[in-house]
Amino acid sequence: MKRTQSRFSDKIYTFKIILEHIATLSVAQKMKVASMAVKLNFSKIASFGYNGTYPGCPTNPETEGEELSLFPGKSGFLHAEDNMISKFQENDPENYMILQTLSPCRDCTMRLINAGFKHVYWINEYRETDHLEIFDRCSVKYGTIKNLINNGIS
């Protein structure tokens, strides 16, 4: 049993590293966020996304980047979850876990539920977390990747 738990932890840790590298692709100046859908048996990465805008977006002279604003929550970027969900092409989202660098905002929590995902885990928590109880009402397993490594998927 210990070897199985260790192997599970090794796999989660490896996907965590991949996720952190994906986040670096974001051009956000304040917060780079990534989201990835991984098959529960670790056999496939079905989709990933990071926060950003559309290809070729012009630089905003006020922010000196692509953001509309540097005010928290007002960047104008699509969220990592939006980009990940838009690329997800599988028919069985309940058999995938979502790994993220940041816990989802309220709107993304609802988007992940509507897309059919039943497992959502993150590295760091977003500044607002009261809305995460929505996952409880919808029977979605969720929490930090650290807890996932310690407890596994039940």
Confirm whether pTM is higher than 0.85: yes
CATH, residue 24: 3.40.140.10
Give me 112's structure tokens.
């992940």
- Per the structure, the count of domains in the chain is 1
pLDDT at 130: 92
The tens digit of pLDDT for each residue in 11-35 reads 999 999 999 999 999 999 889 999 9
Tell me the three-class secondary structure of 118-130, residue by residue. CEEEEEECCCCCH
> What DSSP character marks residue 78?
B
**CA nearest to 115, candidates 74, 87, 77:** 87
Domain of 104 in residue numbering reads as 2-151
pLDDT at 3: 60
- What is the average pLDDT value for the chain, to the nearest integer? 92
The tens digit of pLDDT for each residue in 108-148 reads 999 999 999 999 999 999 988 999 999 999 999 999 999 99
Give me 10's structure tokens.
């090794």
